[in-house]
Chains A and B, each alone.
Chain A
Amino acid sequence: MPYQSPIPDELDKPFWDACNEERLVIQVCTKCDRLQHPPQPTCTQCGSGDFLQWRQVSGRGNIFTHAVVYDTPISLLIPDQPFNLALIALEEDPGLQMPSHLPGTPVDQVPAGAKVEVMFVTTPKTGQKIPEWRVVG
């Protein structure tokens, strides 16, 4: 699908740089030992920004929930409707989620709760890679 290209900023650049290396990293507060996503300037639990680092995660998760999009606001995606839009719960912390179109999974055939693994897709405008997720059985 012709995704928009995310433009990294100072806060989230390590996340996007890792994507370009086909690694999935998530922001972590080492004081709280707690992951958070999307990246924030401070820990949403302790409020400090002094202990924020990046931690590589497994790239495994499962499908938490999903819908099938028939009327997207994003111009680039309109020709590909309908498409799946799932939320993936990360294996390391199911309270954190990432969106996915579940490439390879037909609409209306999304297996609720199924295991997925990350893959990386190149976006057309800038070449920035983004994480996507595919069902692995």
Chain B
Amino acid sequence: MPIPVQNPPQSWYRMQEGLGKWEQSGKVCAVGVGVSPTERRWQGTAEDTIGAYCIIAMRKAMEDAGVSPSEVDGIVFDPVTATGSPWPEGMPIPDELKALNPTGDPLDGVCKLSADYILQNMPELTNVKFIMQAPGCMSHVQNVAIQAVAEKATNVCLVVRGWHNLPGRYYVGRGAAAHDTATGPAKFMGMFGGPACYGTATQFEQYCRRYGVTRDMFANFIINERKNGLMFPEGFWFQHRPDALTREDYLNSQWVAKPCAVLDNDIPIQVAASFLYTTPERAKDMKQKPVYVLSHATARDRARGLVPDLDMCQRTAARNARILYEGAGITVDDLSFENLYEGWPFFHIFFLEGLGGYTGIKEGDALHYFETQDISINSDHPISPSGGNVGSGRSRFWNTIDCIQQIQGRAGKRQIKNKAEIAVDGGFLPYAGWFRVWSATPN
């Protein structure tokens, strides 16, 4: 009998201040991590479809945790595997893909993912009783899995999220963008031609005017992100183009929506990752040290205007941090490091300032800090030691992998100088995202 795919109940999300300490704080932990190979785009083979990559990642996560497939009793996954890269209309699907067990949808495992696809192609998962989908982001998948373990809906839970990237320009001239008419919401904004980064460009434009800063002051952050990424063996730049960035690279980067240039964006890639979550009791005989979840938070805000503005970014980023601190019973001073999202890198400014004093940074301070202070993994307060999407390609999960590996003490060359004890991560948008507090201990 097929296992029903559930949607998360609203009560599983922590979206408001005043909820107090999360009652399950320290009672859920991440143990295993698995990452597929990376590539710039799908090469058209069965072996490198996003479905195949998700399977590789899940098997690696189980192996990393030292868990046999028959011990896994839950799966939380994201059925969406990318944005901006749809299967071209009318293009036939190659026969080679039949090498993997197909489902009723020929694009399943190519540019989307279903529970059926996972289970049909992973017959070793013989004990799965709980399946939940959480669309949008690995961060969403994780928060749902964390709450699922906390609710005892699953005891050994695999989460998976893939990103496919098909040939062709991202968004450009595709689908509705190629037409000479506009329908749906595009009539009021999209038809005016803003690229995907238009929102972040305008938020940064507002930021620069408000605080009297300029884009060149952001260069050190981007350079440091790539530097950290080049110490991330699982990442795209490490594997394929291990070139450091210079200040000149950043300043001469081609504009996309000025003040946002190519290097103020991340690079779309083909990759999947998986994590294994369980309880501290169950983690005792696993291979890796457990990394405890002290708190999680969700942001789900709607802008009144067409594009979320700077005020909204700042307000929601700060609120998310307060929900996390309250849920974990910590303050900003307890953080050893932070790995908040930077897939549009300007977001990191808002997230960092929203933490409310991480290494003394307040609203309007971040660019001055990047320009004048040590933000590397050797500093007392590292900034985004994962290198994030800038450092390893678009995935929205390098930050989580790094939190887990740093606290487990196995981040390799990225290992921060200070003891990695408590960290925050999450994304992707300040006003629409999912966030977590990680800890080396349950208290």
Contacts and interface: CB of A to CB of B under 8 A. Distances in A.
Interface of A: 3-7, 9, 12, 36-38, 44, 64-78, 82-83, 85, 87, 89, 95-101, 108, 112, 124-126
A5 B181 contact: yes
A75 B173 contact: yes
B198 A96 contact: no
B192 A101 contact: yes
21 contacts: A6-B181, A6-B183, A6-B191, A7-B181, A65-B206, A66-B202, A67-B259, A67-B260, A69-B194, A71-B172, A71-B254, A71-B256, A71-B257, A72-B195, A82-B255, A82-B258, A87-B202, A89-B305, A96-B305, A97-B306, A97-B307
B192 A85 contact: yes
A123 to B, nearest CB: 9
A64 B191 CA distance: 19
Interface in B233-282: 254-260
Contacts of A112: 209
Interface residues of B, number: 42
B304 interface: yes
B305 A77 contact: no
Contacts of B192: 3, 74, 85, 99-101
Nearest 9 pairs of A and B residues by beta carbon: A72-B193, A6-B187, A67-B201, A68-B258, A38-B188, A99-B192, A4-B182, A77-B193, A70-B255
A4 B181 contact: yes
A56 to B, nearest CB: 18
A6 B179 CA distance: 11
B255 A75 contact: no
Given A66-B202, A66-B205, A73-B173, A87 B195 contact: no
B401 to A, nearest CB: 30
Given A65-B205, A72-B194, A5 B257 contact: no
B2 interface: no
Contact of A85 (B172, B186, B194, B309): B194
Interface in B170-191: 171-174, 177-183, 185-191
A85 B257 contact: yes
A99 B255 contact: no
A38 B304 CA distance: 10
Contacts of A67: 194, 198, 201-202, 205, 257-260
A3 B201 CA distance: 22
A99 B182 contact: no
Given A7-B181, A66-B205, A68-B255, 11 more contacts: A4-B191, A36-B304, A67-B201, A67-B258, A70-B257, A71-B172, A75-B178, A87-B202, A95-B304, A95-B305, A99-B188
B188 A37 contact: yes
A69 B193 contact: yes
A73 B306 contact: no
Contacts of B187: 6-7, 12, 38
A64 B203 CA distance: 11
Contacts of B254: 70-71
Nearest to A3: B191
Contacts of B305: 87, 89, 95-97
Contacts of A37: 188, 306
A85 B185 CA distance: 17
A95 B202 CA distance: 15
Nearest to A35: B304
A73 B179 contact: no
A73 B195 contact: yes
B265 to A, nearest CB: 10
Contacts of A70: 254-258
Given A65-B202, A71-B195, A77-B193, A5 B304 contact: no
A6 B177 CA distance: 12
A76 B309 CA distance: 27
B273 to A, nearest CB: 28
B170 to A, nearest CB: 8
A87 B306 contact: yes
Contacts of B202: 65-67, 87
Interface string B362-399: 00000000000000000000000000000000000000
A4 B258 contact: no
Contacts of A77: 193
